[in-house]
């Protein structure tokens, strides 16, 4: 079975869950991991997916100096 690319995987998730991500959480610095190396800042790294019964009330990006991610802090209502 052929593996799906990231866009196909995200589409599959969006069929089952709500994509509550409205932030720009692109990688903040070049990175490498297990032989994968990226020098351009073109990767969206962090997402918020929820079930339909969870309502996201607030989103906030957390600036972290020592990571290539911009984590998302959320407040939600069940």
Q: Where are the domains of the chain?
A: 6-77
Block means of pLDDT (10 residues each) for the chain, 78 residues, are 75 86 67 77 77 88 74 86
Tell me what pLDDT residue 75 has: 92
Strand-pair partners of 33: 36
- pTM equals 0.60
Instruction: Quote the Cα angle for 75-16-49, to 5°.
Output: 25
Tally DSSP H helices, then E strands, for the chain.
1, 6
Residue 41: left if φ>0, alpha if ψ -120 to 50, beta else—which one? Answer: beta
* C-alpha to C-alpha distance for 16 and 30, rounded to whole angstroms: 32
């Amino acid at each position: 079975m052929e593996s799906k690319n990231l866009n196909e995987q995200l589409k599959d998730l969006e069929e089952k869950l709500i994509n509550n991500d409205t932030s720009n959480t692109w990688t903040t610095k070049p990175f490498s991991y297990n032989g994968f190396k990226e020098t351009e800042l073109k990767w969206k790294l962090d997402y918020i997916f929820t079930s339909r019964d969870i309502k996201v009330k607030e989103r906030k990006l957390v600036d972290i100096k020592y990571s290539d991610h911009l984590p998302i802090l959320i407040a939600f209502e069940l």
